Structure 1
Amino acid sequence: MILQLYAMFSQAESESISNNVKDGRRKGYQIGKVPMMYGSLLGYRKGPDGEPEIVPEEAEIVVDIYTRFLDGESIVGICNHLENQGVKTIKGNAKWHQSTVRHILTNEKYKGDVLIQKTYIADIFSKKSIQNTGELPQYLIKNHHVPIIEPSVFDIVQYEMSRRSNRHEVSRGGKTTKSKYSSKYALTDVLRCNECGSKYKRVTWTSLGEKQIVWRCTSRIDHGKKFCKNSPTISEESLHKAIVNALNVMLTTKTTIHELLKGSMAALLGANRSEMQIGTLSNEIAVLNNQIFEIVREEIEKRTDSKIIEEKCALLHEKIEGIKKEIQQMQLQKQAASSGNGRLREICEALDEIGTEFREYNDVVTRRLISKIRIVSNKKIIITFCGCMDIEQLL
């Protein structure tokens, strides 16, 4: 009995100390006091004034990772490139894991901001770190330090990460399945059949000893004319010519792009309004969590059966999950609006840099400026630039 009392007092003391430490840290967060884990942050070190300082040679690696990702290279490809170049991780390892590159591409510290309390420790004894999805407040400190990556570029990368991870293959012949991102050919990622919505696939035809590269609807390849009856086969050469022509049209319509940019700014302002709604929904989650806690506490005191307690809490848990999904959707919409604005600016800057007409097809330019190409017929395609500007081209 005495040992049990000692254990109870010890646990209570541990929890009290833990709560005091947590309260101290959260007060520090509110006034902008930020812990920086320099040992796992490539590109920064602690400066003489105690503030983050850029490490030039490491910052070059970070910029290279972002540039290659926006140029269409896959995360696996970036890892292979870094290893082949003999580049070491922040821990000094020669092996680059996909999670390491992905962390660099999604870490807001590289655009000069700091988001605090992304995770939390619910149990002081197990010390298990849990993802914070609204259970506790998060603190975003903007312009905390000098960025390595421009905020607009960072936002574009987040949109591209989301786009690659949410790609789906459309097929009338079976279930809709998730497709893998391809970094080999830019057209694999953007060509779509206007009739059935399926991807187009690069195919090599051989006739009388001569090879020809063509693109064909995957549904037509897999199922013949059963589901997609009229999708045309298009030669790669004609596609490349049409894309070059469309890019040259873009060069002559810069004024139109600037008008689109104004429209995108309006969408961005609407997305910013949704951030207030996200805050309200996060507070709702906190209230529901408190209700669950009170229900459990009261019912335990009444010695209610655990199954009854679970039933009472299940509805509240369901509400919390619904709110979390709503928050996630709002965050994606805000991210899309923000990155759309950034992509339009990128188009303007890219076209200003090029200045002269396009003379040959380029995969990098296609990835950066073209979001979709619909194959309407064997004579016509529709090219969509940055998700908001369509240009028809004859083949």
Structure 2
Amino acid sequence: MTGTREDKRDEFQRMIKDCRRGKIDRIYTKSISRFARNTKDCLKNIRELKSLGITVFFEIENIDTAKLTDEMMITIMGGLAQEESTSISQNMRWSVQKRMENGTFNPPSLPYGYMRRKQDIVTIENEAKIVRDIFTQYINGIGMETIAKELNKKHIDKGSKGFIWCKNTIRYILMNEKYTGRSVFRKFYTTDNFPFKQKENKGEFDQYLVQETMPVIISEDIFEKAQHLISIRKSMGCRETAKYPLSGKIKCGNCGSSFRRKKINNTVCWTCSKHNINAADCELKAIPQDLIYSIFIGLCNKLFCNYKTILKPLQTSLQDLKLKEFTGKTQVMDIHKEIAKFREQTHILARLKTKGFLDEAKYIEQTTELTAKINKLQAELKKFTRSDDEDETLDQIEMLIDFFERRDKPITEFEDLAFESIVEKIIVINQHELEFHLIGGLKFKEKI
């Protein structure tokens, strides 16, 4: 599918570079579909070439860019080229899908720990041992980032992949079902329309589970234990690598630095990193950890007693916004139909002009009017667009309500899990005030 992307057409890019260097005066090409794969790239390159004093002649369409009035025709023909390119891409995807369905799909790349030997997939034993160690450490409670740091510290061979060990690398290994010998195909899909984008398959298309696609490195039992642990930590909002509950959570409101843990006269405190290096750079002094814990307990208990009057109305407002989105869907469909109708009229006008039934002045007048109508309708569509952030905020507010509804009494001592679950960060505004940023975008200022 690289033929649909201009940046993958090496020879075309070389030609454009030669044009910029003054090596080419005029370009002759068989057709627009050979010159460009979509309207956007077609016009971009034509305009750049014109600015360089270079014209293009399209043989099949008999179009010469030396004539400025041909730009509208290039738009139309570029659209046809885009459709042709999209058709080729869809045929290739259909072929891949069929091979996934019948279990004959051969993935282009293999996970860490595997290699190809002729037609067979075999394990790389030293890499397979590292994979087993990663799973063992994780289900024994060691975090992903800690595992990655240890592997880098020990200079563990990164093998054929050559990657740096990091948290995401460890997560990819832990969540890859191929280590159990089976493969799930079509976890991601490519959009049908240009520009083609790869998206995670969240039920839009069928997925295919194929057994015995490669040698087993991890047993089903160990793999499922790892998935269960990942799920629990994710649902609790836990970070993988924090040594202490407050690690990475406290920020200085004066200079923006992070706070670090420090013992002062046998008392555990949290101090601004910049102040700790040079007190003259930041005036905020250290705050005892127990005091921060106590303030958090007080905030939790205020919310526990008042969440029905604070959080419930907010939840209702967000749900009302979501309801408006659903009621507006019928209107959205109507707008899409209108846009499609006007676009079809544009295509009809183009065909009439091509056959000589419509003069250019009339054609431009009518297409300009139709374009204005389409733009107005597209602006209307934006009013019904709901951002993912709003959905996430509602989910987090509901999590917060659920957190307090599940409790039957106030908090009496600091709870690590509660703090991890609901606090995103703490801003130390000054020596007398903290600002707690909770999930759902909520902020509460508390006196020290």
TM-score range, shorter chain: 0.3 to 0.5
| Structure having the higher Rg | 2
The TM-score with structure 2 as length reference comes to 0.42
The TM-score with structure 1 as length reference comes to 0.47
